[in-house]
């Protein structure tokens, strides 16, 4: 049996919490718990064991080392026959308690283009689990907005509008 029991699916997590559940199989070999940002493609293993667990602690989920956002947690149980069963839960990491994050930015290019300053930079953030342009944790400075969807989109939509007077861009909901 493969089941994540708690925290509940779609829970908002603001402090470290134990992920509990069941990881058993008649021909059990091992289990692993992995996480990835919603919309990401690569999982990072945060716990694994060669011992089955029935209704106990599977892993620790620590939001203090993660950027705020939505994460998918996957429990995978592998048996001796090579079969894998999985269960997933979605957690929303929120809060300002970030212990020991490391972030650094390098400006690689700074030019004036038609009088407008343009900078290209790369940033490393230890809380970022997504594989970026230069590896895990790295992003280009041109990618400063990261939208994530954690709710079903309703009947309203987005419309981009630019104000001629100020030149500002707005994204009003309609």
Please list the pLDDT of the chain residue by residue as tens digits (174 residues).
Answer: 999 999 999 999 999 999 999 999 999 999 999 999 998 888 999 999 999 999 999 999 999 888 899 999 999 999 999 999 999 999 999 988 877 778 888 888 888 777 777 778 888 888 777 777 787 888 887 544 445 666 565 555 555 555 555 555 555 444
Pairing of strands 11-13, 84-93: parallel
Number of alpha carbons in the 13 Å side-chain half-sphere of residue 94: 6
The pLDDT score that the predictor gives to residue 157 is 55
CA distance 169 to 161: 6
Q: What one-character-per-residue DSSP string does 36-79 give?
A: EETT----EEEEEESS-EEEEEEEEE-GGGS-SEEEEEEEEEEE
The pLDDT score that the predictor gives to residue 159 is 54
Any idea what DSSP says for residue 173?
B
Query: What is the CA angle 111-135-15, rounded to 5?
Result: 105
Alpha-carbon separation of residue 53 from 21, 32, 70 (angstroms): 8, 11, 26
Under a CB-based contact definition with an 8 Å cutoff, are residues 121 and 110 in contact?
Answer: no
The structure tokens listed for 126 are: 């230890």
CA distance 74 to 126: 21
Report the predicted TM-score, pTM, of the whole model to 2 decimal places: 0.63
The sign of the dihedral angle between the CA atoms of 21, 16, 51, 34 is: positive
Fold classified for 2-93: Immunoglobulin-like (2.60.40)
What are the structural domain ranges in the chain? 2-93
Please give the radius of gyration of the chain, using alpha carbons only, rounded to the nearest integer: 21
The structure tokens listed for 107 are: 């400006």
The pLDDT score that the predictor gives to residue 165 is 53
The structure tokens listed for 5 are: 């029991």
């Amino acid at each position: 049996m493969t089941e994540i029991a708690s925290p509940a699916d779609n829970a908002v997590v603001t402090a470290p919490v134990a992920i509990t559940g069941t990881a058993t199989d008649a021909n059990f070999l091992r289990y692993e718990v992995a996480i990835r940002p919603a919309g990401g493609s690569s999982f990072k293993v945060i716990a694994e064991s060669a011992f089955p667990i029935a209704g106990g602690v599977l892993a620790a989920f620590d939001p203090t080392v993660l950027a705020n956002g939505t994460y998918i947690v996957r429990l995978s149980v592998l048996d001796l026959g090579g079969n894998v069963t999985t269960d997933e839960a979605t957690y929303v990491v929120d809060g300002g308690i970030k212990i020991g994050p490391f972030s650094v930015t390098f400006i690689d290019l700074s030019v004036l283009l038609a009088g407008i300053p343009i900078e290209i930079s790369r940033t490393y953030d230890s809380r970022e689990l997504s594989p970026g342009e230069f590896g895990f944790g790295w992003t280009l400075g041109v990618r400063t907005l990261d939208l994530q969807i954690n709710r079903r989109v309703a009947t309203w939509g987005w419309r981009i509008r630019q104000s001629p007077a100020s030149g500002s861009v707005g994204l009003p909901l309609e």
